[in-house]
Each structure stands twice: as structure tokens, then as C-alpha cells.
Amino acid sequence: MIIFGLALFIAAFALVYVGIRFFTGAGIFHKPGVVYYEEGLDEDQLDILRGIFTDEVILKSDVHISTYSTAEKPELMNDEYIYNIMVPVTDYYDTRVDSSEFDNVDIIPLDELDFTKKLLSLNGKYYLDDSSKGAYFQIVKFDSERFSEEIAPLVDSSFNRDWPDSTNILTFAQTGVTAMSRGMYAKLNTTGGDATFFSSQIKDYLSKFDLTHTSNEASFTASATADNICSDPRFLDTLLDIGLDIVELTGNHNLDCGIDAALDTIDLYYKNNIEVVGGGRTAEDAAIPLKINQKGTNITFLAYNLSTGGATYDDTPGANQYYEENAIEEITAAKDRGDVVIVDIQYYECSAYDSTAEDTTCDYADSAAGDQIGFFHHLIDLGADVVVGTSAHQPQTFELYGGGAIYYGLGNLFFDQYWWPGTTRSLILEHYFYNGKLLQTRITPTVYDSNMQPKLMDIDDMKWYIGRLIKARP
């Protein structure tokens, strides 16, 4: 009787065991798969993996989990995922551009990058321009005979994600003063009338951005001469050649050529799919903010005139006059919508030109009429994320302030002022936006000579000049 009971117990136990093994898919006599964690996995990776492969997870096949890192994005195998992207950064006020100078360079996860840190190139490649290079790519590999059936369903939600790349990073280049007139007009007549002569050395660089901006101060008219700040209509080709998307009309010279020329110029911009900000056909038209909604980022672009003229106060064309109550209302509304807010200001110009030597007076943003530093700080205090001065004919300093960034003056992109060293230079602000936030602003200086063809500074001049502006920050 005892033997019979024992046999019955064993039989029942066997049936239960076989049933469990059958219904869990583990097989009757099959040993469960083992998870092997290879060397090189860091604690963060291990924490995620152990949270996935718990004791309750029964595998039919072993899985070997390993990791490796590379400085170029690999072609991923079916069982591989990018776990992390690490990028080289340094202090915002550092003049370096490449991480080959390793002192005081930090390597941080891309998720921690923001505009208060300066992203460096890696081996000459800038990640935000080419998302396949310029970073260290950390890969996790799951080696299993049953990867598709067993492993992928478990790990996809944790490791399969979209990273910032050209499909979701919005690139936006802001440039300074453009006034294609006077000496440029005289030069145009020596080029056979080919206005792309002036853009030939900068067009490839500027046209690569999703959005390219300039502040054009000269209206197009057949009345242009070598003695006025009016622009020959042929100069439209210069703007189209750089891929211009946004033109700012806050300048104080857009009415120099008359009301009809200003109206015709605005029509010409719209005809060529160029958005207008900071100016318009009427005061009401000029005050309309430019709203940008691209690649998951919403930007409100505001531009005002606070200088020596050119503003419209009625039903005539001109620049958007700055009014405190309007600025407060527009910035507040944009922030309430969750937009990134860029504010451009045509401020009182700093004039400190010297034809024989470098003059650093205008580097210091407190050199202009009025309290330039205090006013630009005020706009950040109102909620602006980026404040840019677009009246300065030579670049001025820049700084982080409050929760935003300020660029006091961008200098001349296209103009004829080649007699003074300072006015031959400008700054291109290269904004990179991702997922509704400003990820980075890279500053690239340009320079031109008597041919008035702006080009990028070489690396040594770039470092010297950026360093000079940094020294002048408030």
C-alpha cells in the first residue's frame, strides 16, 4: 500500500512537471537557457538587463550579452542595438573646436547635452552635422539562436529607440547684417552682373541648413547706385544662392529707396518663398511673429527695431518698432505654448572703426548708446531663450545669462565695409534644435576682403577671434 501510494505520488509529480515544461515551452528534458553577461557591460546596462531577464523569464536557448564601442556608427546586425551615444564637450567659453585637444574634455551621454555646454568635433566630425560620426557609439549585442523569437520581444522596448539625427534635428543658421549696395554694386558691374560672385565662397556652407536667415537692410530697386544703400535686383541671386529662408527687416535703411521699393521687395521675398520677420507692409503686418514648426520643434521668432529709424507706425512699410507691452505679451504667449523663443533686436549701432589697427571697443556690448547689456538681459528675463543683436557692423561679445544665451552683435555678412578689420567679419550662429529644445549653438566666424566675398575663417583665426570676444563678455 505504501509502495502504491509512493508510485502514485511520483506519477502525479511527473505529470505536473511535464505539464509545466510543456506549457512554458521549455521542453520536457530541456535545460532552461542561461543569460551570460560578458565583461565590459557597465552597471547601468546591467541594471537594465537584470530588470529584463528576471528569474521568472525562462528561455529555451542561451543568450550571451556583450558590448562594444566605436567612433563611427556601425551597420547594426539584427541582434544589435545602440545603447548609448557619448559625445565630447567642454566649457561654453572654450575656444577649441575638436576633442583632439584632450585636456579638460568631458565625454557625456548625448541625452545630457544642452546649449550651456560646447559640443566638440571628434576626429574632425561634428555629430550634429553628421550623426554617423563625431561620437562614441555604445552597442549592445544579444547572441542567441532564438533572438527573434525570444530576445527581441523582451529587449526592444528598452533598447530600440530613435536618436537625434538629420531626420529630427532642426538646423537654423542666423547671420548678421546684409546690405548689398554701394561698393558691392560697383563690384557687381565688374563681374558681368553675376551676383553669385559674392556668395560663391559661403553658399555651400549656408545652404546646408534647414533654415538660413539674414538681416537685409537694403531694398531692391533699379535706382541702386554706388552711392546709396539700395540693392540692385540682381542681388536677389546672392540670397537665393545661400539658400535663404528667412529675411529680417528690422534694419534702419530699408526705406532709403522709397516706399514703393520697400513694398516691391517684400513681394519679391514672398514670391521666392522667403519668410519675412521684423518688418512688413504696415505696422500691423510688421509686428506678426514668425512661427516655425518643423521636425518636432516649435519656435516663435520675434524681431524688433530699437535704433535710429526705419520703423513703421502706420499703414506704410517698415521695421517692427519695439514696444515693451508687445514684447511682454508675445514672449509670454510663446512660452505658454511651449515654444522656443528667439528675439532679434536692431539696436543702436556701435561705431568704433579704425582703418589701420584692430579696435576692440565694439567687442564690449556696453559701448553702444544706451544700456545694451541691460536691455538684452531684460529680454531674457521676460522669457526669451536666445537674444541676438542684428545691427552691429562688427561682431560683439556673447554670454550665457539666466536661462538663455545672448549674442550682442553678429557683424557684416554681405556689405562693402572692407576698410576696417572689424567690419569685414561676422558670426554665423548655427542653432540645433531637437525635440522642442535648443540643443546647441555653434559660432562660426566669417571674413571678407576687398572682393566682398565672405568665407569661413581658418581654424587659427577662428580661435583667436572667438577668444577675443569671450574676453569682452560682461
pLDDT at 248 exceeding the cut of 70 = yes
Rounded to an integer, the average pLDDT of 158-182 is 96
pLDDT tens-digit readout, 120-133: 999 999 999 999 99
pLDDT of 6 reads 44
pLDDT of 357 reads 79
Helical ranges in 189-320 per DSSP H: 203-206, 236-241, 259-271, 283-286
pLDDT of 367 reads 77
pLDDT at 338 exceeding the cut of 50 = yes
Helical ranges in 161-225 per DSSP H: 183-188, 203-206
| pTM score of the predicted model | 0.91
Nearest to 176 by CA among 360, 348, 389: 389
Rounded alpha-carbon distances, angstroms, from residue 323 to 160, 379, 446 = 49, 12, 33
pLDDT at 342 exceeding the cut of 50 = yes
pLDDT at 292 exceeding the cut of 90 = yes
pLDDT of 226 reads 97
Rounded to an integer, the average pLDDT of 334-345 is 98
pLDDT tens-digit readout, 135-163: 999 999 999 999 999 999 999 999 999 99
Contact 454, 201 (CB under 8 A): yes
Query: For all residues of the chain together, what is the average pLDDT?
Result: 92
> Please, which pLDDT band fits residue 104 given cuts at 50, 70 and 90?
confident
SS (H, E, C) the chain: CHHHHHHHHHHHHHHHHHHHHHHCCCCCCCCCCCEEECCCCCHHHHHHHHHHCCCCCCCCCCEEEEEEEEEECCCCCCCEEEEEEEEEEEECCCCCCECCCCCCCEEEEHHHCCCCEEECEECCECCCCCCCEEEEEEEEEEEECCHHHHHHHHHHHHHCCCCCCCCCEEEEEEEEEECCCCHHHHHHCCCCCCHHHCCCCCHHHHCCCCEEEEEECCCECCCCCCCCCCECHHHHHHHHHCCCCEEECCCCCCCCCCHHHHHHHHHHHHHCCCEEECEECCHHHHCCCEEEEECCEEEEEEEEECCCCCEECCCCCEEEECCHHHHHHHHHHHHHHCCEEEEEEECCCCCCCCCCCCCCHHHCHHHCCCCHHHHHHHHHHCCCCEEEECCCCCECCEEEECCEEEECCEEEEECCCCCCCHHHEEEEEEEEEECCEEEEEEEEEEECCCCCCCEECCHHHHHHHHHHHHHCCC
pLDDT at 191 exceeding the cut of 70 = yes
How far is residue 138's CA from residue 110's CA, in Å, rounded to a whole number?
11
Q: CATH fold of 169-471, please? A: Purple Acid Phosphatase; chain A, domain 2 (3.60.21)
pLDDT of 308 reads 79
Lowest-pLDDT choice from 11-20, 262-271, 326-335: 11-20
pLDDT of 31 reads 66
pLDDT of 221 reads 98
How far is residue 96's CA from residue 29's CA, in Å, rounded to a whole number?
63
Rounded to an integer, the average pLDDT of 290-306 is 98
Rounded to an integer, the average pLDDT of 429-446 is 98
Rounded to an integer, the average pLDDT of 309-318 is 95
pLDDT of 355 reads 72
The ranges assigned to domains in the chain are 62-159, 169-471
pLDDT tens-digit readout, 5-35: 544 444 444 444 444 444 444 444 446 899 9
pLDDT tens-digit readout, 202-215: 999 999 999 999 99
- The residue with greater pLDDT, 102 or 445, is 445
- The residue with greater pLDDT, 4 or 297, is 297
